[in-house]
Structure 1
Amino acid sequence: MSYRGRFAPSPTGLLHAGSLAAAVGSWLCARHAGGQWLVRVEDIDPPREVAGSAEAILAALPAFGLQADDRVIYQSSRTAAYDAAFAQLQRAGLLFPCWCSRNDLAPSGGMHRDGHCIAAPAADRAPAWRIRVPDEEIRFTDALQGPQSQSLRQSVGDFVIRRVEGFYSYQLACVVDDAWQGITDVVRGSDLLDSTPRQIWLQRCLDLPTPRYLHLPLVLDSQGRKLSKSERAREVDAEQPMPALRRALSFLGIRPDTAAMHPSALLDAALAGFDPRRLSQCSDHHLL
């Protein structure tokens, strides 16, 4: 299968420097491979969403020269696919309902490792649904971070697939949609590196392909903290895109020698000398 990458923002705020760097990094990798670059809005957590942010992010991307090769997919329209995956896992006997509170799980460090709920069922409220995880190491090689290994049972335990409110987890939705969209390569921030073993386990359970992974270093704020929308990171200026785009490229270790005055021309110059292997030369640092 030819290369298909994606940028998958959550609409919990506006496009900031960290998400722009991730978008540019994934776009460059896709274009370098002669592949496609898709955009998917991961709007499956309504309580955390900021009204209008999805539209604002999608409107900002073209201003930075980032054009998707197919229509934008919204996860909020994909519930039937998640229902089907949930049913498949349930038929395989991998899921169990869970009424455990945080206090119930406190003795085990907030994790669930028993393969069944240790709390009494509550008739007055719906349960969360968890997947049983194996007592084995999940291993993969990240294209930038190198060999990775994680024991799901020890690190995350039996994790939630569908929340009490009925919302599907990021892990399940991401796995189902990456397979449905034919994603071959996932390029994203290293804050999601820890999620990858869970996603690989779900791919195996659902008999879905596992894409290649490349996790980029994180953009940090002036205090050394990860930039995130929840910390009210400053929005990048789509009206004056060149400064933010140059900073994003510089963060990725790319400094094209060009006087380009337009984002598309700057991206073309960056792509001409781009080598994904050189991304290893960049590291977590400030971009403000």
Structure 2
Amino acid sequence: MDNSDENSVQFHGDEEIIEVIDLNETEQNPDDLADEFEDVDVGETEDGDDKQEDWDTDDEMEQEKEQDDSELTFSKHTGSVFCVSLDPATNSLAVTGGEDDKAYVWRVSDGEVLFECTGHKDSVTSVLFSHDSSLVATGDMSGLIKVWKVETKQEVWSFEVGDLEWMEWHPCAPVLLAGMADGNVWMWKIPGGDCKTLQGPGCQSTSGKVLPDGKRAVVGYEDGNVRLWDLKQGNATHVIKGHDGHQGALTCLACNKDGSLVLTGSVDGRAKLINTATGKVGSGHYCMMENT
């Protein structure tokens, strides 16, 4: 084959040319690529400022993803909100407490503040309307509890205890219960202030609830025990402990409609169903549910 055929392409059978690659073309180095990008229009304006409209930052993209579907936002608090409760009579009022040492009673339809619960010394961590929504109780981390009459927007009672763990209104009377870090449960008649104390076992009372009959209360403790109290007599009718009790502090409890059963939860990762008449932990598949 002579030199004239050096650049010619030879066909073999049914082959066809897909692409011809010029091997004489040198590979581009980084400097060459940089020169090419100098010619790319990145949206520079006439006065030399870069256009940023089409360049979204991560923060801007995240903001675009956020969507507020709420009907109303209440923004009076200047710190974290720690507790909230709706009035049980009409569900038209709310009370909130927060890190700013304040509690507000406000209308849920438009967010209008009816009154501010003033005078707290520390973060308000517990708020609750009474059964008929006529009273509202607010408690802070210092142990100061205040009760307000919703109609007059006035404070009608206050009391200072130790470290407050929880509060609970009686389901059919103006009686307020509160659990303390020393394990005691205080019970007051509002606004008179008549008081009764349910003596604890010497460890923190972590949760409590008055049963629907209004005669008994169930209280959970840091040691994993659960006590069923007769409120009139002031004594514990049943103590659930040991194998039947929890192996860690109680974190929550709830009862069914007639108060015959109480479900308890604990830091041990288990839930137990207790018969309030007998104090026995239910048998069968529902008695103990372990978090796996």
Q: Which has the higher contact order (CA 8 A, sep 6+)?
A: 1
Give 1 or 2 for the bigger CA radius of gyration: 2
TM tier, smaller: under 0.3
With the length of structure 2 as denominator, give the TM-score of the two structures: 0.20
With the length of structure 1 as denominator, give the TM-score of the two structures: 0.20
